[in-house]
């Protein structure tokens, strides 16, 4: 397995109150909007929904990999991610995110091992760890016929 993997997503505003995001690794685009509370369109994914989806799906895939590696069998795993956005002095931001994994196992004797593996998945989830990581910001501003950084 390689030691480095790159992922790329491009998003752009299309018209009105909606945009599209595309990934190099999947054929379908995601249509998104600002949250309806901020003038967005009902029934579309928002950046906030997508971030919580990234957390929940990352936790789910991480747990699945850990369970498989540990030869731990489980019946079902549903992961709910809930975020609260509030206005602060510097603008709106997430002030709380709660991850609620609900794991179903076959026998009570595996409960403690299940709890240990759930905590391990939380510690290893790449998306959770990425939220605390500093971000590089590389801008490009273009005018017709010229590009400048």
Calculate the average pLDDT of the chain. Answer: 92
Map residue 63 onto helix, strand or coil: helix
The answer on 68 and 13 residing in a single domain is no
Identify the domain containing residue 50 by its residue range: 46-133
Instruction: Give tens-digit pLDDT for 8-59.
Output: 999 999 988 899 999 999 999 999 999 999 999 999 999 999 999 999 999 9
Amino acid 144: pLDDT: 81
Amino acid 1: pLDDT: 60
- Give yes or no for a contact between 24 and 16, defined as CB atoms under 8 angstroms apart: no
CA gap 47, 34 in Å, rounded: 7
CA gap 97, 102 in Å, rounded: 16
The answer on 72 and 7 residing in a single domain is no
Residue 82 has pLDDT above 70, yes or no: yes
The answer on 123 and 58 residing in a single domain is yes
Amino acid 132: pLDDT: 80
């Amino acid at each position: 397995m390689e030691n480095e993997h790159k992922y790329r997503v491009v998003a752009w505003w299309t018209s009105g109150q909606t945009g599209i995001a595309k990934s190099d690794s999947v054929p379908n685009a995601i249509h998104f909007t600002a949250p309806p509370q901020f003038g967005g369109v009902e029934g579309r994914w928002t950046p906030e929904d997508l971030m919580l989806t990234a957390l929940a799906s990352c936790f789910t895939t991480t747990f699945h990999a850990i369970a498989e590696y540990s030869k731990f069998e489980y019946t079902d795993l549903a992961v709910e991610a809930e975020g609260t956005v509030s206005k602060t002095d510097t603008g709106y931001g997430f002030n709380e995110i709660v991850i609620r994994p609900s794991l179903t196992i076959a026998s009570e004797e595996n409960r403690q091992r299940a709890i240990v593996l759930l905590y391990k998945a939380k510690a290893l989830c790449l998306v959770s760890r990425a939220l605390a990581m500093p971000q590089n910001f590389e801008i490009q501003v273009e005018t017709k016929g010229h590009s400048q950084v």
